[in-house]
Amino acid sequence: MSNLNKLDFTALEVSRRNYLKWVQGMKLHLTAKNLHPAIKEEIDNPIGEVEKATVMIFIRRHIHDALQTEYLAEEDPRALWVALADCFDHQNDIFLPDARHDWQHLRFYDFKSVNEYNSEVCRIRSFLKFCNKTLTKEDLLEKTYSTFSASNIVMQ
């Protein structure tokens, strides 16, 4: 990456690995600078050409050089935002099957400590929540109880 200025957060990689972090960082910075309406669909909030140019500079500065070249023709920040989302925003399709698989194969006795088990539960739960699938406390308790070994079933 040939950007000489220090970036406010990690630039979007061509590999798509950091798209979620990049989107969150971009939204937070644009909101902090009061430029978030430039990437929103809302027509009620007209934004000036100077603000649009500022957002375009900010977005382009925070994407990989190869992506800058690929999206060189985009001149509107909203159009660039949508084009990047169309290309990169398939994270639900990736994370949901993995999270469901991990949840189904989660076993309490596979972990050395309760903290390790809880950490894994939190990780899976956060991915499911990201994919708009929520786990209730009852689901969590049932999963834990159902995966106890037979000798510890009395604890239920």
Q: Residue 28 and residue 34: Cα distance in Å, rounded? A: 10
Domain boundaries defined on the chain: 19-88, 91-155
From the CB of residue 118, how many other CB atoms can be counted at a distance below 10 Å?
A: 13
| Per-residue pLDDT at 95 | 79
Q: Which residues are 63's β-sheet partners?
A: 12
* Digitized pLDDT (tens) for each residue of the chain, 156 residues in all: 444 456 777 888 888 778 888 888 999 999 999 998 888 876 666 788 999 999 999 999 999 999 999 999 999 999 999 999 888 888 777 778 888 999 999 988 888 888 998 999 999 998 888 878 888 889 888 888 787 666 655 554
Q: Taking the model in full, what pTM does it have?
A: 0.65
Q: Residue 52 and residue 61: Cα distance in Å, rounded? A: 14
From the CB of residue 2, how many other CB atoms can be counted at a distance below 10 Å?
A: 5
